[in-house]
């Protein structure tokens, strides 16, 4: 059975479903193909999100059960023994159950009129000349459409076929576990562990849940993440106190692309969103808010293309232009911060955090209005004398020997 839909979405992750939701709301006929039998499973993500930006995306009233905990701030553990706590007066972030979150967005899209085809793996794009005209499923069925939105996550197998650049720059390999019996944690704070001994090229995290369990993970730019996780659990002076006697309930492995968005996320009849387009924060690896923000822009662009009956690359490039206007500064600042962090030795990171603490910079960090749009947030606090001083310190640190 071959089929047709005005827009086809590949992948029912949050970005694919959010694009579908925003198209279906406009009455567009949209079909989402998901390779798994169940949406949101298997899950690989910590689901740590900014409450403010969930609201901005219109997702502030998540049903009970999806939000597992909310947080007023974070404890940052420097590579040796310095600890810096940044705490706000009220919750600023939350952690969601990713499987339930993905299912919820898909249900919203379905209720708005989107059609879901589960257990349906897209094998390749249907291309005529240089234009994408639909998808070909694993079972050889052909599904035609005017626009295909690629939301297949980091694997991004379809990008190459569409002749687009890949998202495989600055990839880190991650492992995440869910544990029970975690000790000595403040349920209001997430914890971050820095240092090349435990998470070279990234960091480790501990996200406590209200039910006594926690999500613990890390990513590394070299070596086996599993070995680093064992070391974190059993050897890290602070983490081992919290995790040494925990029981692992679940484990997953996945990659995260930290290189910033791909340079061309569109071609004739084709748009790329979310992890497939590497719309992920290079600093923290968070991709939900920015990916869904771009998915919404892609949906708007696709809707306008349908109205004008123009699916050419020269029209669809509008998608990238709007993403750049909205997020370009943030991505480029975050990429620079990631490169700076990667270039610093553990000793320098320790010294920097100690310096931040001495300067009571955690109070200034509390003025950061937005943890997702980090470029503009940093620019807003840049004029503050303490931050200017810290920047000078950082530049000097960066320029001096490791």
Calpha distance 389→374 (Å, rounded): 19
Q: Which of 7, 24, 46, 66 binds ligand FAD (CB under 6 A)?
A: 46
Considering only residues 317 through 356, tell me which ones interact with ligand FAD, judged by CB under 6 A.
Answer: none
Q: Which of 256, 258, 323, 334 binds ligand FAD (CB under 6 A)?
A: 256
Nearer to ligand FAD, 33 or 331 (CB): 33
CB of 394 to ligand FAD, least distance (A): 25
Q: Which of 7, 9, 10, 66 binds ligand FAD (CB under 6 A)?
A: 10
Indicate whether 13 belongs to the interface with ligand FAD (CB under 6 A): yes
Nearer to ligand FAD, 291 or 375 (CB): 291
Considering only residues 268 through 297, tell me which ones interact with ligand FAD, judged by CB under 6 A.
Answer: 274-276, 280, 285-289, 291
- CA distances, 184 to each of 68, 74, 94, 187, 189 (Å): 19, 14, 20, 9, 11
Nearer to ligand FAD, 172 or 305 (CB): 172
Considering only residues 92 through 131, tell me which ones interact with ligand FAD, judged by CB under 6 A.
Answer: 121-122
- CA distances, 285 to each of 17, 31, 44, 46, 204 (Å): 20, 29, 13, 10, 11
* Sheet of 171-180, strands arranged across: 83-87, 73-77, 189-193, 204-208, 213-220, 171-180, 247-257
Spell out the residues 6+ positions from residue 358 whose beta carbon is closer than 8 angstroms to its own: none
Q: Which of 48, 77, 209, 320 binds ligand FAD (CB under 6 A)?
A: 48
CB of 14 to ligand FAD, least distance (A): 5
Number of residues that bind ligand FAD (CB under 6 A): 38
62: exposed, middle or buried (C-beta count within 10 Å: 0-12, 13-18, 19+)?
middle
Indicate whether 209 belongs to the interface with ligand FAD (CB under 6 A): no
Indicate whether 16 belongs to the interface with ligand FAD (CB under 6 A): yes
Calpha distance 305→313 (Å, rounded): 10
Torsion-angle region of 213 (φ positive above 0: left; ψ -120 to 50: alpha; else: beta): beta
CA angle 330-331-333, nearest 5°? 65
Nearer to ligand FAD, 260 or 348 (CB): 260
Per CB under 6 A, residues contacting ligand FAD are 10-16, 33-36, 44-49, 121-122, 151-153, 155, 174, 176, 217, 254, 256, 274-276, 280, 285-289, 291
């Amino acid at each position: 059975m071959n089929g047709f839909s005005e827009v086809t979405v590949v992948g029912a992750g949050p970005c694919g479903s959010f694009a579908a939701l925003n198209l279906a709301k406009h009455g567009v006929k949209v079909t989402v193909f998901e390779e798994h039998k169940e949406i949101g499973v298997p899950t690989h993500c910590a689901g740590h999100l900014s409450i403010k930006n969930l609201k901005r995306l219109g997702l502030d009233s998540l049903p009970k059960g999806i939000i597992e905990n909310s947080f007023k701030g974070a404890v940052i553990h420097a590579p040796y023994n310095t600890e810096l706590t940044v705490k706000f007066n009220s919750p600023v972030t939350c952690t969601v159950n990713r499987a339930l979150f993905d299912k919820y967005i898909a249900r919203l899209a379905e209720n708005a009129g989107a059609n879901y085809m589960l257990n349906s793996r897209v094998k390749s794009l249907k291309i005529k000349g240089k234009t994408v005209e639909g998808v070909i499923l694993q079972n050889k069925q052909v599904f035609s459409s005017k626009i295909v939105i690629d939301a297949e996550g980091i694997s991004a197998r379809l990008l190459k076929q569409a002749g687009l650049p890949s998202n495989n720059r600055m990839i880190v390999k991650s492992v995440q576990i869910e544990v029970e019996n975690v000790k000595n944690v403040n349920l209001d704070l997430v914890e971050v562990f820095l240092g090349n001994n435990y998470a070279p090229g990234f960091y480790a995290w501990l996200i406590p849940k209200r039910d006594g369990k926690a999500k613990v993970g890390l990513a590394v730019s070299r070596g086996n993440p599993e070995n680093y996780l064992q070391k974190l659990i059993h050897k890290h002076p602070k983490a081992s106190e919290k995790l040494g006697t925990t029981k692992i309930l679940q484990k997953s492995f996945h990659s995260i692309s930290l290189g910033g968005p791909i340079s061309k996320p569109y071609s004739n009849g084709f748009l790329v969103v979310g992890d497939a387009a590497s719309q992920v924060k290079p600093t923290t690896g968070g991709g939900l808010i920015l990916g869904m923000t771009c998915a919404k822009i892609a949906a708007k662009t696709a809707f306008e293309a349908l109205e004008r009956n123009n699916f050419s690359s020269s029209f669809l490039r509008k998608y990238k232009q709007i993403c750049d206007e909205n997020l370009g500064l943030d991505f480029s600042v975050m990429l620079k911060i990631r490169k700076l962090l990667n270039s610093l030795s553990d000793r320098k990171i320790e010294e920097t955090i100690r310096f931040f603490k001495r300067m009571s910079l955690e109070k200034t960090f509390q003025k950061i209005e937005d943890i997702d749009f980090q470029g503009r947030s940093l620019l807003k606090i840049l004029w503050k004398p303490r931050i200017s001083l810290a920047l000078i310190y950082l530049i000097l640190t960066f320029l001096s020997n490791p």
